[in-house]
Amino acid sequence: MVVGGFQVGIETVPYQVAIFYAGELLCGGSIIGLHWVLTSYHCVSTRIPSDYGIVVGVTNPEADGRKIHVEDFIFPAVTESDKTYDIALVKLNQSLVYSEAVQCIPLLSVHDAIGPGKPAYISGFGFTQDGGAETQLKIATIQVLPWQTCQEAYPSLMRKYLLCAGVTEGQVDACQGDSGGPLVVDGQLAGIVFFGKGCADPNHPGVYISVPWFYDWIVDAARNQSNAENRELCTASKQAL
């Protein structure tokens, strides 16, 4: 669960999903199309569809959720040799039905839109603190941080396709169980929760996969699907209202 922030209902973040592995809540993710969820590769690393279930449209997925089966996973070829390319598409075996509680979120395509100081929103069902679990959906406001701040916090980790976000005094952050979840800027999916040292440590902000950096890969992966419905991804005009 997000550290800091406040509890919300799923209608506030209807693109938020919960990913279950072997029946246990493992990660978050974002609905980006009728058949698609975007998440972190490390959340689905067994790559065995029957190991996973996706829950959408509920505030407490452990109590209320019906698990949707997974058809397939798609990830960059380089991911197997470099795990910092921590991104994966989850293809669902059925089409979602959009409603007030189930909506897609458009992908941010322009990296310049996530400059330092930009307000951003994170959400998730994960831990409330480093090591403490409680399944409640929370959302928090943070901001994109300068590259130099990221580099100083993680000198051996940062890559051009990563960004970091948080608040300078700590106290607000994604935590364990939030991996794969959304970082939202201007109503669009800007990042994927990737890594952090502890939770809400003022010296170690959260690290996120940049969605704009992988935008073309995501679009191409969808366009290569044989079924026309599977090629569609979310745009602002296709969001359920």
Q: Is 237 helix (H, G, I), strand (E, B) or coil?
A: helix
H helical segments located in 124-205: 147-153
Q: How far apart are CA 218 and CA 211, in angstroms?
A: 9
Q: Are the C-beta atoms of 53 and 67 separated by less than 8 Å?
A: yes
List of residues 6+ apart from 224 with CB closer than 8 A: none
Query: Any idea which residue has 């039905």 for tokens?
Result: 97
Catalytic residue numbers, as ranges: 42, 86, 179
* Terminal-to-terminal C-alpha distance of the chain: 26
